[in-house]
């Protein structure tokens, strides 16, 4: 009779470190309660981890200290198990494209559905919602790259989407200064025409902020590609909406960028 341990060993021998509850039930021919009990014992022994209901990771000895492998190794099969398209983005994507200044303490994924964040061992997965229509417009092969992983390949935002995602969710990407650093590090690699096309799926305010930051860090070609979006702007907006003036009267002295129709209420600091 096939045991859970032998089943896990066989999967690992074939280069696979994950399985679903339904796959295990089919392999064992056991009833669900017996399989559930065996899986619970293996989780307690730290041989398995359970990131989502019905989906399990097989932990190799080197994974047990962190409680799970790097999420890039299993995010693709997990999202396929849930039937949800996705892309790795923000800080992890920026690092993938060459921005080494920002430490990615959290593994961030953009999805077209509201999903709960969760921790698995030392890893924290954060899901960022993008409206399904906008997500479908940009989560396409010409804008999404691939990272090689143990499970095959994982979807990662291309340079243009990484920049746009970082500025849209800037409070999750180390703030405006963090996004400015990312723009400096990888902005020159963005294709201006591709950037402008992808920007059409994002809020005008986010596009203008990115344009200003690209301008600020000297990537003129990429910034100019976003200038047409300024014509659609109806009002001046703050560069950083999270910054509030402590004294109301001081709000009037903030620098203004008529080019990008932004109130520059935050000093942008960038490492060399």
CA separation for the pair 204, 168 (Å, rounded): 10
Q: Find all residues with CB under 8 Å of 232, minimum gap 6, and list them.
A: 204
Residues 123 and 82 in one domain: yes
What is d(CA 105, CA 201) in angstroms, rounded to the nearest whole number?
28
Inside any domain, residue 82: yes
Residues 84 and 145 in one domain: yes
In the prediction, which pLDDT does 18 show?
A: 95
Q: What is the total count of domains within the chain? A: 2
Compute the chain's Rg from CA coordinates: 22
My answer on whether 94 and 61 are in the same domain is no
pLDDT of residue 152: 80
Q: What confidence score (pLDDT) does residue 28 get? A: 77
* 60 shares a domain with 82: no
Among residues 17, 41, 66, the one where a domain terminates is 66
Same domain, 206 and 250: yes
Whole-number pLDDT of residue 247? 47
- Domain end among 24, 47, 66: 66
Low-confidence ranges of the chain (pLDDT < 70): 1, 30, 101-103, 244-254
Co-location of 162 and 229 in the same domain: yes
Pair (88, 200) in one structural domain? yes
- Give the per-residue pLDDT at 254: 67
Same domain, 136 and 216: yes
Q: What's the pLDDT at 204?
A: 97
Per-residue CA distances from 217 to 6, 53, 73, 233, 256 (Å): 56, 45, 34, 22, 17
Same structural domain for residues 113 and 34?
no
The answer to whether position 109 is within a domain reads yes
Q: What is the pLDDT of residue 241?
A: 87
**Strand ranges (E), 36-95:** 48-52, 55-58, 87-88
Q: What is the dihedral of CA 45, 48, 52, 54, to 10 degrees?
A: -100
Domain that holds residue 40: 4-66
Identify whether residues 217 and 166 lie together within a single domain.
yes
Confirm if 158 and 175 have CB atoms less than 8 A apart: no
Establish if 269 belongs to a structural domain.
Answer: no
Q: Which helix (H) or strand (E) holds 237?
A: strand 237-238
Q: What is the CATH number of the domain that holds 15?
A: 1.10.10
């Amino acid at each position: 009779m096939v045991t859970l341990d032998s089943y896990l060993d066989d999967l690992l021998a074939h280069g696979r470190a994950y399985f679903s509850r339904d796959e295990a039930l089919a392999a064992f021919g056991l009833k669900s309660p017996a399989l559930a009990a065996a899986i619970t014992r293996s989780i307690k022994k730290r041989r398995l981890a359970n990131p989502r209901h019905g989906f399990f990771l097989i932990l190799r000895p080197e994974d047990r200290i962190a409680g799970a492998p790097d999420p890039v190794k299993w995010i693709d099969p997990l999202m396929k198990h849930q039937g949800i398209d996705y892309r790795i983005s923000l800080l992890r994507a920026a690092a993938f494209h060459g921005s080494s200044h920002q430490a990615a303490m959290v593994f961030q994924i953009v999805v077209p559905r509201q999903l709960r964040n969760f921790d698995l061992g030392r890893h924290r997965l954060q899901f960022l919602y993008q409206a399904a229509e906008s997500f479908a417009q940009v989560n396409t092969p010409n804008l999404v790259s691939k990272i090689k992983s143990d499970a095959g390949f994982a979807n990662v935002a291309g340079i243009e989407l990484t920049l746009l995602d970082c500025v849209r969710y800037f409070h999750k990407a180390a703030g405006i200064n963090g996004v400015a650093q990312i723009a400096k590090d990888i902005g020159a690699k963005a294709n201006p025409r591709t950037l402008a096309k992808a920007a059409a799926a994002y809020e005008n305010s986010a596009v203008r902020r990115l344009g200003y930051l690209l301008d600020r860090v000297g990537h003129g070609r990429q910034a100019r590609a976003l200038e047409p979006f300024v014509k659609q702007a109806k009002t001046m907006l703050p560069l950083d909406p999270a910054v509030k003036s402590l004294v109301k009267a001081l709000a009037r002295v903030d620098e203004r960028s008529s080019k990008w129709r932004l109130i520059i209420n935050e000093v942008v600091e960038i490492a060399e």
